[in-house]
Structure 1
Amino acid sequence: MRKLLSWFLKLVSGLLLSGIAWILFVALQQIYYSEPDQVYLMGTTISYAFVYVFLCIVIFFVFSFLKLRFNPDKLKRRFFVFAAFYLVCSPLVILAFDNYLLVTPKGMVYNKFLSVGDGKVKRWREISQVELDYQVTAFPFQRENRVRLRYFVHFKDGPTVDLNHYNSPLYDADQFKAIHRVLLKQGVPVKLKRPLPEKYAKENPFVYEMFHFKQ
């Protein structure tokens, strides 16, 4: 019983330390990129989860190093395993949080997951239009279908970015509406690929509001 309790306390301690390290990591990222008159949305749901798991595993290795400090042979083997893990996963952590959306008074930049480094800010006049569409998803055993917003930003030099794909840095309706207001204020044309039926207004008020934002 005592051994089980000790294991449980170590597990809780590791998860708690990982949580504190995760909060510090995210806060430092936000502070580093924080500037007046700009919106910086970094990472995605998958990115945040991956970084937390990564920190949990690092903390586990630290605890194991302390436990094996008097056993140099096992400690050496464990360190080689940790080094291999760190070399493979640490670049993925950097890529995870280099996936961001930055909106400034001059323009915006969306850096994709596999794009390393600071992306070039696209000025508002370089955006040809924003196209709104929707996707209806039917779930088993549910009476109502789920409607998901598709938000395509078309640039004049060719690229198109969907700001509301499944792994997008935008998290809530208020953030999306704030970005949309900026685009409208800058005179970016907004096109509806197809009208949203009235029947979806009650179950999906956010999507319906976005389709009628200009009104």
Structure 2
Amino acid sequence: MRTILNWILRLGGGLIIATLLWVAFIYYQLENYAEPDQVYLMGTPFAYGFVFLFLCGVVFFVIAFFQMRQDPRKLRRTFLVFACGYLIASPLVILAFDNYLLVSPKGIAYNPLFNLDDAKIKRWRDIEQVVLDYDYERLPINQDQHLRLRYIIYFKDNTKIDLNSYNSPLYRQSEFEAIHRTILNNKIPVKTMRPLPDDVTPDTFIYKMYQTK
């Protein structure tokens, strides 16, 4: 019973430390990329999830090192495993830190996961148009299909971004609606690639986005 209790305490303590480090990571990212009158700065789900798992791994390896300090052979093997994992994962942490969406009154900047350079803010007037489209995707737990919105911003320099990709920094409907209102307020043309299917109901998010132009 005492062994189980100690294991639970170590697990809980490790998760708390990893969570605090994760919060510090997010705070430092916000501070590092802060812009005057900034509206949004958000990392992506993959970036934040990967960093949290990485920090959990580091914390629990450090705890393991203390437990094995009396067994040099076991400690050496564990440290080699940790070093290999750290060398592989740490570059991804750096890329995750640089994976963000910035929206300010001046414009928008989106830095993809594997882009090493800081994204330059593109002013609203640099946007040529926004195109709304959709994809069919099948839910993994059943055979039903549903529509996924594609929100593609085309810039005048022939670049584009899809703000609703699977690694999108936008998590909530309210965030999408706020950026969409900003797009409309800046008189940026919004077009639809194709009409929605007839079975899409007016209470759905994708229907509301299609109608707000």
Give the structure-2-normalised TM-score: 0.88
Partners in 1 of 2:110 and 2:200 — Cα distance? 30
- Output aligned runs, 1:109-124, within 5 Å: 109-124=109-124
Corresponding residue pairs, total:
213
The amino acid that maps onto 1:81 is: V
Q: How big is the shift at 1:42? A: 2.8
Match of 1:5 in 2: 5
Q: How big is the shift at 1:107? A: 1.9
Partners in 2 of 1:138 and 1:74 — Cα distance? 46
Deviations 1:43-72 (A, max 9, x none): 222222211111111011110111122334
Match of 1:161 in 2: 161
Match of 1:128 in 2: 128
Match of 1:98 in 2: 98
Partners in 1 of 2:140 and 2:74 — Cα distance? 51
Partners in 1 of 2:96 and 2:141 — Cα distance? 35
Match of 1:78 in 2: 78
- Farther-moved stretch of structure 1 (155-164 vs 18-27): 18-27
Q: How big is the shift at 1:135? A: 2.3
Moved over 6 A (4+): 140-144
- Output aligned runs, 1:173-212, within 5 Å: 173-197=173-197, 199-202=199-202, 204=204, 206-212=205-211
- Farther-moved stretch of structure 1 (159-168 vs 6-15): 6-15
Q: How big is the shift at 1:35? A: 3.5
Q: How big is the shift at 1:138? A: 4.6
Change (3 A) 1:143 1:63: closer
Q: Which runs of 5+ in 2 are unaligned?
A: none
Q: What CA RMSD, in Å, does the superposition of the two structures yield over aligned residues?
A: 2.3
The amino acid that maps onto 1:42 is: M
Change (3 A) 1:61 1:7: same
Partners in 1 of 2:69 and 2:53 — Cα distance? 24
Partners in 1 of 2:129 and 2:72 — Cα distance? 62
Q: How big is the shift at 1:195? A: 2.2
